[in-house]
Amino acid sequence: MSNRLGAQTVTFSKEPRILSSYTIVGPMEGKGPHALDFDEILPDDVLNQKTPEKSERLILEMAIEKTLSKNNTKLDDVQFLIAGDLLNQIISSTFAATTYAAPFLGVYGACSTFAQAMGLGAALLQGDFASQVLVGTASHYQTAERQFRYPIELNIQHQVTNHHTVTGAGAALLGFADQGPRITHATFGAVVDMGLKDPNDMGSAMAPAAFATIKQHLQDTELNLDAYDMVLTGDLGKQGRKMLRLLLEKEGIQGLDRLQDGGSKIYGDGQKTGAGGSGAACIAVMTLGYALNKLKSAKARRVLIVATGALLSSLTVAQGESIPCIAHAIVLEA
């Protein structure tokens, strides 16, 4: 276990790096305060596709395509494609994978999927199983809304604690190079279920999972939060973010000024998006857009990404079950 550090953290001494990446968001995210952080803002979220599921798949394919071409990498040189999304049977990822026929690992961790995939990709590089790994996640407001909530045509009023699913995709090519942001650690979370049952307040359900993973990460690495220039959680939203801060404060953890939340930041205050953004694309575009720009422009040297996921399904909600949650963390260094 020489690549291990404590109970839940693994280390990547061979310094796998993000060779290239590409972020795409929908028009709504393109009107938010982070518009300039993203590579591409779509003029509309339909893209001439017959269904929003086809649009979601297409956006993921576009992100993968651009990520490969930015690094002049051919698909044949990629040993794994790791992808996941929110849809039943992760169809956006599996259908996109028919186009990019690399060995495919489908993963699911709801909105935490991106960090799980990145950590796993870095592990396959560190473990000498691959020289290049492609990672991608996507989500779409329309597909998620009708799968998890109500048909969009009903125009159901959202609550202030509701998240708004981000339309977008993020892809990254991981490998070895002389420069570029490194992935140095991953802390894989355990599932945490505090018994919360309100699917309209996933932030509160996810905060304890973020807390557990952060606490374990700090214990495993013997660091405090101020070892990081930014700790970017996602997608806790406005309520969950507060709850996480309270939990960390109560635990006596220092450096809370480093905390930012991707879901809370992706939309502007006037955008009527409830608690903030969510979806498998949210932390992906905020990491590969916002956080990577900070690292590249030397505004940050070391960033902790803590992606959170609510592992509910429409059926478990209907059956009155609580909402199990998870958070996976990765460390990015300039």
Q: Tell me which residues touch a second copy (CB under 8 A).
A: 1-4, 8, 10, 50-51, 53, 79-80, 84, 86-91, 94-95, 97-98, 101-110, 116, 120, 123-124, 126-131, 147, 188-193, 311-316, 319, 321, 324, 326
Tokens of 117: 């995939």
Which C-beta is closer to a second copy: that of 188 or that of 290? 188
- The minimum distance between CB 76 and a second copy, in angstroms, equals 8
- The minimum distance between CB 193 and a second copy, in angstroms, equals 4
Which C-beta is closer to a second copy: that of 34 or that of 182? 182
The CA distance from 247 to 263, in Å, is 19
Which C-beta is closer to a second copy: that of 219 or that of 271? 219
Which C-beta is closer to a second copy: that of 71 or that of 132? 132
- The minimum distance between CB 266 and a second copy, in angstroms, equals 23
With left for phi above 0 and alpha for psi between -120 and 50, is residue 214 left, alpha or beta? Answer: alpha
The CA distance from 21 to 39, in Å, is 9
The CA distance from 128 to 142, in Å, is 40
The CA distance from 119 to 185, in Å, is 8
Which C-beta is closer to a second copy: that of 254 or that of 314? 314
- The minimum distance between CB 202 and a second copy, in angstroms, equals 13
Give residues with Cβ within 8 angstroms of 297, minimum separation 6: none
Which C-beta is closer to a second copy: that of 27 or that of 103? 103
Which C-beta is closer to a second copy: that of 11 or that of 233? 11
- The minimum distance between CB 59 and a second copy, in angstroms, equals 17
- The minimum distance between CB 113 and a second copy, in angstroms, equals 8
- The minimum distance between CB 96 and a second copy, in angstroms, equals 9
- The minimum distance between CB 238 and a second copy, in angstroms, equals 24
Q: Are 237 and 5 in contact (CB under 8 A)?
A: no
Which C-beta is closer to a second copy: that of 129 or that of 301? 129
Angle between helix 52-70 and 91-99 (nearest 10): 50
**String of b and e for 169-178 (b: at least 16 CB within 10 Å)?**
bbbbbbbeee
Q: Are 140 and 167 in contact (CB under 8 A)?
A: yes
The CA distance from 242 to 325, in Å, is 17
The CA distance from 59 to 48, in Å, is 12
Which C-beta is closer to a second copy: that of 4 or that of 296? 4
- The minimum distance between CB 50 and a second copy, in angstroms, equals 8
The CA distance from 103 to 252, in Å, is 44
The CA distance from 160 to 242, in Å, is 14
The CA distance from 153 to 51, in Å, is 14
Q: Tokens 């209907």 map to which residue? A: 318
Residue 23, classed as helix, strand or coil, is strand
